[in-house]
Every structure is written in C-alpha cells, then in structure tokens.
Amino acid sequence: MMVNIAFVGFGGVGQALAEILLQRKDSLNDSYGLDAKVVAVADMMKGSVYDPDGLDVEKLLEAVREDGSVENLSGGSRMKRGWNSLDTIAHSNADVIVEVTFTDVNTGEPAITHCRTAFENKKSVVTTNKGPVALAYRELAELAKSQGVFFGFEGTVMSGTPALRMPVETLAGNQIKEIKGILNGTTNYILTEMEKGYSYQDSLEKAQKLGYAEADPTSDVEGYDARYKAAILANYLMGEPLSHTEIECEGISEVTSEQVQEALLDGKKLRLLARVKNEQGIIKASVKPERIDADDPLAGVMGATNAIVYECDLAGPIMLTGAGAGLKETGFSLLIDLIHYQKEKQLAKI
Ligand SMILES: NC(=O)C1=CN([C@@H]2O[C@H](COP(=O)(O)OP(=O)(O)OC[C@H]3O[C@@H](n4cnc5c(N)ncnc54)[C@H](OP(=O)(O)O)[C@@H]3O)[C@@H](O)[C@H]2O)C=CC1
Ligand SMILES: N[C@@H](CC=O)C(=O)O
C-alpha cells in the first residue's frame, strides 16, 4: 500500500529516516506492505520542496549533503517550492507527516501546532519531537482519535529502544508502580567520558558531533530533555496528567570531574536519573544526578546508551536498555511507527 509522507524538519533524524526508506525500500514493501513515497520536505534553513508525484530520495539526500539545501532539486512539472511547514501539512497530499523539528523545552512549539494542524486535516503524524507529547499528549491523542488518524511517538523516549510500546503491549496487565532510568544519551555520554578522565566541555562537544545532543544542548545538560521524557512516561504510561513544571529538575552542568572521580573511589557512579512514581494515585517525578552503587545495573550503562526499569506489580522489575540517542537509531523509531501506521491501516482502524 502506497503511503505518501512529508518531512517537516529535515535535520539529522529526518535524513536518517529518508536513508533507511531508500536502503530498505524493497524489503519494507515485501515484509510489511509499506511502500513509502516522500512527497515533501519543509525545513527552516534547507528550504522546502513538494512534488505530489514523489521526490527522488537519493537526489534529495545528495542535495542536502552537497548544498545544504533542497531548493534546487529538480523534479516534475507539478513540483512546488517555498511552502512553509503549515502549507505543507495542510495542502500536500501526504498521508503521514514526519514531524522532526527541534524540541522546544518550554512551549513545545511549533511542533504542537504542526501536529494539531495535521490531525485537523486528517493526516497522521509520526514524531520524535518530545514537546507535543510532553505538553499536549491528551489533547493531541484525542484529536487524532476523533479524526481517525495515527499518532506515533516511539522515539520521544529512548530513541529507537521501545521504551513506550514495549510496556504498553508486552507488559499489559501489570500495574507499573515506578519507572526509573537513564533517559538522556548526551548526559550519560558526558558522565561516562568524565569517568575515563575527559573534561566536561570536550565530552559535550563530542556528544554534539555524534548527533546525540539537542540543537541547544542546554536542554540536555540542565535535565530539561529528561524532564520532558519523565512527563511523557507519566502521561502516557501511568495515565496521569503531570506537567513538566511539577517535576523536580537538576542537570549535570554543575557536576565536576572531582565529583565523578570521588564517586568512583567510593565504589559509586554518578548517573542522571529520572524517576516517576505512583504514590497512591499521586504521580511524583524527579530528574537529578544520583550516586548509585557500582553494582547497580544502571551503573553499568555507558555512553549514549539509556536504560529504564519498570517496577511491575505482577512481573517484578523489568529493565530495558539500548540506544537513547543517535541518528540511525532515532530514524528507526520513526520507521517502527510507520510500520504500525501501516498495520492499523491494513486492519482498517484508521
Ligand atoms: N538526535 C537524536 O538522537 C534524537 C532526537 N530526537 C528529537 O528529534 C527531533 C529532530 O532531531 P535532530 O534531527 O537531531 O535535530 P536537528 O536539529 O538536526 O534537526 C531539526 C531540523 O528542524 C528544522 N526546523 C526547525 N524549526 C523548524 C520549523 N519551524 N519548520 C521546519 N523545520 C524546522 C531545523 O532547520 P535548520 O537547522 O535548517 O534551521 C533542522 O533541520 C528533535 O525534536 C529531537 O529532540 C529524539 C530522540 C533522539
Ligand atoms: N538529546 C537527546 C536525544 C534524544 O532524545 C539525548 O541526548 O538523549
């Protein structure tokens, strides 16, 4: 089944998904009946291009790599240029909007408006942008449902590691009393590099080069990114409205090399932990650096890897670990959402 998709935002993650769709075109079609046609890209600086008959993805990626722009891409007679994000969402023939603009840790915009506009126009959304899910999950999920469209956001927590779909599908039937974890790849990378003796600043720069950090890395190092993820876990997995402003939040920007080394000498490790707890129906959450025992499973989590522990009433503690950031991994999280979109479409749920 052909699915027309439009990218709103075309940075590292958007390009990674485009690359996957290009490389796996045949196998996605053969295995899942997913035949994705990229019809539009709308990006702030790289420009925008729309062709209802489909863009040449190889040339699209080449144009971004070589010119940093999609504006000069050649195409068919129906090609249009210069549409902004909202024009692209509302007026293109896309079935699915891939929303991969930057995450704004205060307002969630413009991504919330992008999602709302897509749903109002009966278009599905897959996104890795944490803003809409952390700040407006209920409103957007209800709107998507009432419009009969799909809302996928697996990559908003732990990138390509299935931190959201796994507990909903595979741990169904349990009550989850507490969730704790390392939910930010950049800060875990920095802390574990500092354990090896590298400086905070060098480690942050490496995390930026590797594509782990947010466009503004303040979001990572001050804990705001992990705070959004904690809000998503509370709202989506624990079913309780919790605003990010109610979450106690401290980042790692004040952590010194001495503190990291001292912890090691004491048989401990410093980790930025997010905790979400259901205390008799009241949800409490925090994000802060904690000294944990070196033999705690979370202490062994290194680099941009993340880990999460779900305290289940029936199954006991279940730990999931995997990439928490990274372009290919996050591109994969969008792919798995597209595969689920396709499955729901085949079952005529949407
Ligand atoms: N990188 C990762 O490992 C992960 C990222 N995420 C999330 O995925 C999203 C994308 O991340 P990533 O690709 O790394 O980020 P990038 O900064 O590489 O890409 C974001 C893109 O969005 C564009 N953009 C910004 N505002 C607008 C707008 N209003 N309309 C259209 N385009 C816009 C930017 O344009 P330009 O730069 O040209 O101005 C940029 O090309 C973010 O929300 C991030 O939080 C989630 C999990 C992991
Ligand atoms: N900047 C984030 C990217 C994924 O959400 C991180 O480092 O975890």
pLDDT for 168-194, tens place per residue?
999 999 999 999 999 999 999 999 999
Atom of ligand 2 nearest to the CA of 330: 4
**Residue length of the chain:** 350
109 alpha carbon, closest ligand: 1
Q: Is the CB of 47 under 6 A from ligand 1?
A: no
Distance 213 CA to ligand 2 centre (A): 6
Question: What per-residue confidence (pLDDT) applies to 1?
Answer: 80
- φ, ψ at 308 (rounded to 5°): -145, 140
Distance 44 CA to ligand 1 centre (A): 10
334-338: average pLDDT? 98
What is the percentage of the chain residues whose pLDDT exceeds 70?
Answer: 100
Per-residue pLDDT tens over the stretch 223-280: 999 999 999 999 999 988 899 999 999 999 999 999 999 999 999 999 999 999 999 8
Q: Is the pLDDT of residue 195 over 90?
A: yes
**pTM for the whole structure:** 0.96
Q: Is the pLDDT of residue 349 over 80?
A: no
What's domain 2-160+328-349's architecture? Answer: 3-Layer(aba) Sandwich (3.40)
Active site residue 229: yes
Given 229, 284, 288, 349, the catalytic residue? 229
Question: Residue 327: helix, strand or coil by DSSP?
Answer: helix
Q: Respond yes or no on whether the N-terminal peptide bond of residue 132 is cis (omega within 30° of 0).
A: no
**Residue 204 near residue 190, CB atoms below 8 Å:** yes
Q: Is the CB of 99 under 6 A from ligand 1?
A: no
- φ, ψ at 225 (rounded to 5°): -65, -45
Pick the CATH number of 172-323 from 1.20.1050.10, 3.40.50.150, 3.40.50.970, 3.30.360.10: 3.30.360.10
Q: Is the pLDDT of residue 342 over 80?
A: yes
Amino acid at 46: K
- Kindly report the protein residue whose alpha carbon is nearest to atom 11 of ligand 1: 13
Question: Residue 61: helix, strand or coil by DSSP?
Answer: helix
Q: Is the CB of 324 under 6 A from ligand 2?
A: yes
Per-residue pLDDT tens over the stretch 16-74: 999 999 999 999 999 999 999 999 999 999 999 999 999 999 999 999 999 999 999 99
Q: Dihedral of the CA atoms 139, 141, 147, 151 (nearest 10)?
A: 140
Q: Is the pLDDT of residue 350 over 90?
A: no
- Kindly report the protein residue whose alpha carbon is nearest to atom 26 of ligand 1: 101
161-174: average pLDDT? 97
What are the structural domain ranges in the chain? Answer: 2-160+328-349, 172-323
- Kindly indicate whether the ipTM for this predicted assembly is greater than 0.95, answering yes or no: yes
Atom of ligand 1 nearest to the CA of 12: 13
Q: Is the pLDDT of residue 147 over 90?
A: yes
